[in-house]
Structure 1
Amino acid sequence: MTDNTLKILLIEDDMIEIMKFNRTISSLQLNHKIIEAKNGEEALDILNEKNRIPDIILLDLNMPKMNGIEFLNILKKDDVLKYIPTIILTTSSNRKDMLECYKIGIAGYIIKPLKFENYVKNIERLLNYWSCNELIKG
């Protein structure tokens, strides 16, 4: 179903995590379009090209140059970009980080599980939800 295809901006500095995400998308046989950014600065450059606006953003918190919370603060101040659902995908189970992210306005917070099969299940649930979400479809 082409109308359920998402344009996903993955902001992640770890190449292994990027490969793991892409492997998950392939194994689930999903046709989502993945745009990769290695850090918040690169992501903002991509988002400034208005023809590349993603449906959702998956954001790691622990990154060089600009961490996820710094990126979120910039994103949520932009009148157009602030509406893009942003889901944190991180290893950080720090409650303070989680509460700060929700305060800024994220759509979800997922801690990367250690087991690959659990990671795949979480990503599948996440993408199934956003594929049928009215905000995206409209």
Structure 2
Amino acid sequence: MTTGPRVLLYSDDSTVRDHVRLAVGPRLGVGQPDLVWTEVATAAAVVEAAHSRRFDLLVLDGEADKAGGMGVCRQLKNEVYQCPPVLVLTARPDDAWLASWSLADAVVPRPLDPLAVQRAVAQTLTQPV
């Protein structure tokens, strides 16, 4: 059995994590393998997971309390050898410039549009590295 893409999803808010997973769905398309989700609620858990396991995509909540996804993204892009692509969820479209500072590969602003989230995940996972 083929293992699908591995996605690390970080938000301190479980409703944001649920929204992202529901928006993306179980797989990227018909006939594709199921996505394998790993959910974490703290920045420390993101850093530990990114250093110790292999992921195909990191989805980070830029609005997470204590350590937002943009700062975590920049840290990982500078620390993790061959860091996987990162999708950052921002508070608003105007935060895209800050997400570019964080070295994010893709950005989706709030309110989270399910189609935009699904499209960004699919595009980020399938773009050449």
Does structure 1 residue 124 correspond to structure 2 residue 122?
Answer: no
Per the alignment, residue 37 of structure 1 pairs with 40
Does structure 1 residue 86 correspond to structure 2 residue 114?
Answer: no
List alignment gaps of at least 5 residues for structure 2.
28-33
* Structure 1 residues 75 and 124: alpha-carbon distance in aligned structure 2, compared to 1, 3 A threshold: same
Per-residue deviation at 1:57? 0.9
Per the alignment, residue 134 of structure 1 pairs with 128
Per-residue deviation at 1:79? 4.7
Per the alignment, residue 7 of structure 2 pairs with 8
Per the alignment, residue 21 of structure 1 pairs with 20
SS of corresponding position for 1:10:
strand
Structure showing greater Rg: 1
Which stretches of structure 1, 4 residues or longer, exceed 6 Å deviation after superposition? none
One-letter amino acid matched to 2:16: E
One-letter amino acid matched to 1:68: G
Alignment match of 1:47 (pick from 34, 47, 50): 50
Per-residue deviation at 1:43? 0.4
For residues 21-69 of structure 1, the C-alpha deviation after alignment (integer angstroms, 9 at most, x for no partner) is 22234xx4411111111122110111121xx221111111122232223
Contact 2:71 2:102 in 1 (8 A): no
Q: CA RMSD of the aligned region, Å?
A: 2.4
Structure (1/2) with the larger helix percentage: 1
Per-residue deviation at 1:14? 0.8
List alignment gaps of at least 5 residues for structure 1.
none
> Using the alignment, how far apart are the partners of 1:128 and 1:65 within structure 2?
29
Per-residue deviation at 1:94? 6.3
Per-residue deviation at 1:103? 2.4
Q: Percent identical across equivalent pairs? A: 17
One-letter amino acid matched to 2:119: R
> Using the alignment, how far apart are the partners of 2:26 and 2:84 within structure 1?
24
TM-score (normalised: structure 2): 0.78
